[in-house]
Amino acid sequence: MASSTGTSDTGSEPGSREVRFRGGGFVPDTRRWVGFVVFAILIVIVEWGTRAGWISALTLPRPSDVLQTFQELYQSGLLFKHLLPSLTRLAVGAAIGVSLGIATGVLIGLFSYIRAGLAPLIAAIFPIPKIALLPLFVIWFGIDEGSKYALIAFGTFTPTVVATYGAVDNVDRSLIRMGQSFGLSWLSIVRKIVLPGAMPGILSGLRISLAIAIILLVAAEMLGAEYGIGAYILEAGSLYDLERLFAGVVILSILGVVVSAAVGWLERYLLSWRT
């Protein structure tokens, strides 16, 4: 590059110099492998530290031990005994919460009276930590699966509602006017213009609500669950068994990555018209 003093002789004539490039940047590129490298480096550092002794066994478990615990968990068949009920709770709870949330959000987006009535209510219940309501849900829905479904459903409901009605608000009004000008029925406008137009916003809301669902899943399973990842982590924690605790945490992380990838796949499939 030419030096900034301007005296370099990159040009053919004296006194001429090349224009300095100052554009570029500020555009995120896809660099998939960097994420894996960061993960790998962190794990290697912890492994090294625990083996060398400058990380004590009480602070962090050794990654290789966690992996071994994980293998034992898999071989004993306990992994699926814990994973299946958790996945069922996640799927049922999130399905109830998300579908009710989308329906409510669309209604708030479309009808002024429903918006005036429900939007403040949603704003009031959004910041409540849903975990605090778990005892109440146990009374309402019983200590079995009911209260767990309810907690996850309630936790995913509010962010879905907020994301959905924001997305409906953002649907291009000129497209709706177009639909009206061609005499499309109300239902057709909602189905063919409003819902597809709101889909990008609904899906980014879905990403957030599903992450919340995983957090609440663990909370729900800490009360009255024999099997489940939350129960497994709670048991390991009370025994101070760090290897098992971390094995459980790793399962949750993987679950988070898988859910996020699933939403990403859904976005690519449903929103292929965007890019």
Partner 1 sequence: MELRLDGISHSYGETEVLRDVALDIPSGRIACLVGPSGCGKSTLLRFIGGLERPAEGRVLQQGAPPDGCLNPLTFVFQDFALLPWRTVRGNISLVLEDHGISGQAADAIIGDVLERTRLGDFAKALPRQLSGGMKQRVAIARALAVKPAVMLMDEPLSALDAQTRELLIDDLVRLWARTPFTAVYVTHNLAEAVRLGHLIVVLSRRPGRIRDIVELDKPIDQRGYADPDLDATQQHLWTLMRDEARAADAELIDG
Binding test (CB under 8 A) with partner 1, winner from 75, 174, 238, 240: 174
For residues 100 and 157, is the Cβ–Cβ distance under 8 A? Answer: yes
CB closer to partner 1 out of 197 and 224: 197
Q: Cα separation of 196 and 32, whole Å?
A: 29
The residues, any chain, with a CB within 8 Å of residue 211's CB and separated by 6 or more, are 256, 259, 260
**Contact between 268 and partner 1 per CB under 8 A:** no
Minimum CB–partner distance for residue 186 and partner 1 (Å): 11
**Contact between 185 and partner 1 per CB under 8 A:** yes
Task: Provide DSSP, 122-136.
Answer: HHHHTTS-GGGGHHH
**Of the ranges 21-29, 75-83, 188-196, 205-213, which one interacts with partner 1 (CB under 8 A)?**
188-196
Binding test (CB under 8 A) with partner 1, winner from 177, 253, 262, 264: 177
**Contact between 2 and partner 1 per CB under 8 A:** no
Binding test (CB under 8 A) with partner 1, winner from 3, 8, 68, 188: 188
Minimum CB–partner distance for residue 264 and partner 1 (Å): 18
Minimum CB–partner distance for residue 185 and partner 1 (Å): 6
**Contact between 12 and partner 1 per CB under 8 A:** no
Q: Cα separation of 255 and 249, whole Å?
A: 10
**Contact between 181 and partner 1 per CB under 8 A:** yes
* 186-195 contacts, C-beta under 8 A, 24 or more apart: 190/106, 190/110, 194/106, 194/109, 194/110, 194/168, 195/106
**Contact between 175 and partner 1 per CB under 8 A:** yes
Q: Cα separation of 272 and 259, whole Å?
A: 19
Minimum CB–partner distance for residue 198 and partner 1 (Å): 11
Residues 193-222 that bind partner 1 (CB under 8 A): 193, 196-197
The number of residues that bind partner 1 (CB under 8 A) is 18
Q: What ranges in the chain are assigned the alpha helix state H?
A: 32-52, 63-75, 78-110, 112-125, 134-141, 145-169, 173-181, 186-189, 195-221, 229-238, 242-270
In the complex, the residues that contact partner 1 under the rule CB under 8 A are 174-175, 177-178, 180-185, 188, 192-193, 196-197, 271, 273-274
